[in-house]
Structure 1
Amino acid sequence: MSVGTAVTDQSYSQQELLDIFDITDPKVRSVFLNSAIERRFLTVPPRDADGAVLPEVQGELLAKHKRLALDMGARAIRTCLENAGIDLADIDYLCCTTTTGFLTPGLSAHLIRDMGILPRTSRVDVVGMGCNAGLNALNATSSWAMANPGKVAVMLCAEACSAAYVIDGTMRTAVVNSLFGDGAAAIALIADPPDAAYGGPSDVPPEPGGPRILGFASHLITDAIGAMRYDWDDEQGKFSFYLDPEVPYVVGANAEQVVDRLLAGAGLRRSDIAHWLVHSGGKKVIDAVRVNLRLTRHDVRHTTGVLRDYGNLSSGSFLFSYERLLQERVTKAGDYGVLMTMGPGSTIETALVQW
């Protein structure tokens, strides 16, 4: 039905972040300045009287995650509902996904209370699945919508990446620190009753006129289960995210089989796809996917644009790209689109949609 996004208050250029954290190592600086990222929204740690960044213990990071995720999440949901012309009281199901912090009860319960969403609302929280989680959650949310025709389901991706940083000067953390940003995105879904007037892939749905989800396909790269992961850092006393340098090549090498399986189920080929919305995982990841799927730079323009303006927003990145596609107003009735996310597992998730 609609999409809505939100970010935190302050954005920084990569050079500004290098200055704030007083990073002088030439190799680390090169990682930041050659990331294809111009600005990111982040909530940097507090600083002392001399401007030096103060360390944040894990408890403070968890509190930051809760504060930022709830604020961004609420704003993204409100924008999503406004764009659809519906009210908070219309929400029947709320699915929240995040990887940048842990809460019990989860984000969904806090949002229902804080926003005044009806307490009867069904909910689920998807925690710890990483950058691919948006499509995992969309699969579950769309399944609920299909099982409950006419009811509104809302999915929220809320990632406070500012609450998941370790600053220790190593190249391991430098790659992560150069990449991620804060952001939240919400999407609203509704399923028509079984006796709706359309049903075949070539039919055009009635209002609200958004794309229909036709199917999903997943691929778990079991040999690379440790390529993207959270580890506990005893020295730092907090969680530390790890990205294997081989991730772009692992993802790229497996992209074709899962996309072709997704399309084969609908009798389609890659040339039938008008719109590609790929997770903004990083410059090398995007290039690897683009080359292996034989996509043009125009095909991934929103993916690279979101990376440039926001960095990697983890699970919600693909919805920021989707929002930009809608703002272009270039989609036509009958157009097919592929959504693609990649993350820990290592996992590639895909969805096929049609306008």
Structure 2
Amino acid sequence: MYLHSIASHFPAHRFTQQESFSALSQTKSFANLKRSSQALLEKILTQGIGIDSRHFCVSDIAGLVDADAGELNALFEREGRALAAEAMRKALKAAGLEADELDALIVCTCTGYLCPGLSSHVAELLGMRSNLYLQDLVGLGCGAAVPALRSAHGLSAADPEAKIGVIAVELCSSAFFMDDDPGVLISLCLFGDGASASIWSGESLKNAWRASGFQTLHLPEHRDMLRFENQRGFLRNRLDRKVPELAAQAVKHLISEAGMDPASVVAHGGGRDVVQALEAALGGVQLKETREVLREYGNLSSPSVLVALQRLLEKGTERDSLWLTSFGAGFAAHALQLHRNHG
């Protein structure tokens, strides 16, 4: 399966971390926090955690933490499909394709639930064919992009001529939640909205990147360290302080199993502490694109690793092999190899 194009899209509303604190500190939810929790939120958002800014689908983020569950669900349905569709429009243009030339569309997300899923909405918005194969992956958390590509790989193996679109989209703002749990407060400071779209097929183009060597490590004994839980209809993120080390060890295991060069890694950036732990586990390698995406957009959840890949490819790389890794709820970590085709 070969990469034909990759693109991303972000909402127009950009907030610095200081602006986020200024808005959130005026809310009823903030007023109900303990003073120690208020101080923690201020410290994280004003003293720096490797994030300069984030993008959101609304101009008033203060309203999100005081919104009811129905309002947040409606936000996801309205803005999630628009965000995903715009990313795919860009990917189609970059590949020189029309929407009705796609044979399959796979969409992954974890920040909202729709039935039918976002794939149905995107297909309608873009005017895709009525016999298009649609698949939605929900519940795989921040690590979902690589499993989505693995699904595309299976479709491509069955039909090498098929043109397959893959979208990773998260409306993290629709999962905003505020209470006195430190993990909840840290989550509120980390995540931003965004989407990545890519187009793949079995057609071997010169200098195209071929995906192979998919891996997964599932550790259900650590499920409660990183997960969404439903609280009165809201998505409340549980985030344990041991997650950075857990992620680093999982990635170290996978890359050792794959026998890939740590310098070839493109990774999901969960947060500053996660990136630091990854770099240490990989022998001191600098995850430059991962850090750049985190700094400019925050933790985008599932699109993060693909946005980092897009950035690396746009800069240009002399490497002929790359190793992508993502991780998140499960606890699970995933990886795939990309090899440049010189034929």
Q: TM-score normalized by structure 1?
A: 0.87
2:214·2:335 contact (CA, 8 Å) conserved in 1? yes
2:82·2:122 contact (CA, 8 Å) conserved in 1? no
In structure 1, the residue matched to 2:211 is 213
Q: Return the offset for 1:54.
A: 7.0
Q: Return the offset for 1:176.
A: 0.6
Count of residue pairs the alignment pairs up? 326
1:45·1:56 contact (CA, 8 Å) conserved in 2? no
CA-to-partner distance for each residue in 1:161-199, whole Å, 9 max, x for gaps?
A: 01001123542321110000000001110103xxxxxxx
- 2:236 corresponds, among 203, 217, 240, to 240
Tell me the secondary structure at the aligned position of residue 302 of structure 2.
helix
CA-to-partner distance for each residue in 1:213-253, whole Å, 9 max, x for gaps?
A: 1211111123211111111224xx52211111110011112
In structure 1, the residue matched to 2:321 is 336
1:130·1:315 contact (CA, 8 Å) conserved in 2? yes
4+ residue stretches of structure 1 with deviation over 6 A? 51-54
- 1:291 and 2:280 aligned: yes
Q: Return the offset for 1:26.
A: 2.2
2:65·2:178 contact (CA, 8 Å) conserved in 1? no
In structure 2, the residue matched to 1:37 is 51
- 1:327 corresponds, among 310, 314, 323, to 314
Write the mapping of 1:1-355 to structure 2, written as runs, cut at 5 A: 1-22=4-25, 25-32=38-45, 33-44=47-58, 46=60, 55-192=66-203, 206-207=205-206, 209-234=207-232, 237-263=233-259, 269-270=260-261, 275-297=264-286, 300-331=287-318, 335-355=320-340
Tell me the secondary structure at the aligned position of residue 211 of structure 2.
strand
CA separation of 1:53/1:109 partners in 2, compared to 1, >3 Å: closer, same or farther? closer
2:64·2:174 contact (CA, 8 Å) conserved in 1? no
Q: Return the offset for 1:34.
A: 2.7
Query: Structure 2: which amino acid aligns with 1:6?
Result: H
5+ long unaligned stretches in structure 1: 193-204, 264-268
Q: Return the offset for 1:343.
A: 0.2
Q: Return the offset for 1:46.
A: 4.8
Q: Give me the identity figure in percent.
A: 27
2:65·2:177 contact (CA, 8 Å) conserved in 1? no
Higher helix share: 2
Q: TM-score normalized by structure 2?
A: 0.90
CA separation of 1:54/1:140 partners in 2, compared to 1, >3 Å: closer, same or farther? closer
CA separation of 1:119/1:52 partners in 2, compared to 1, >3 Å: closer, same or farther? closer
1:262·1:350 contact (CA, 8 Å) conserved in 2? no
1:46·1:54 contact (CA, 8 Å) conserved in 2? no
Q: Return the offset for 1:336.
A: 0.7
1:217·1:259 contact (CA, 8 Å) conserved in 2? no
Find the aligned partners of 1:281 and 1:110 in 2 and give their Cα distance.
Answer: 28
Query: Structure 1: which amino acid aligns with 2:337?
Result: L
CA-to-partner distance for each residue in 1:27-80, whole Å, 9 max, x for gaps?
A: 222222331000000135758xxx877721111111111112111111100100
5+ long unaligned stretches in structure 2: none
CA separation of 1:321/1:262 partners in 2, compared to 1, >3 Å: closer, same or farther? same
CA-to-partner distance for each residue in 1:281-306, whole Å, 9 max, x for gaps?
A: 11111111111111422xx1000000
Tell me the secondary structure at the aligned position of residue 230 of structure 2.
strand
Q: Return the offset for 1:274.
A: 5.2
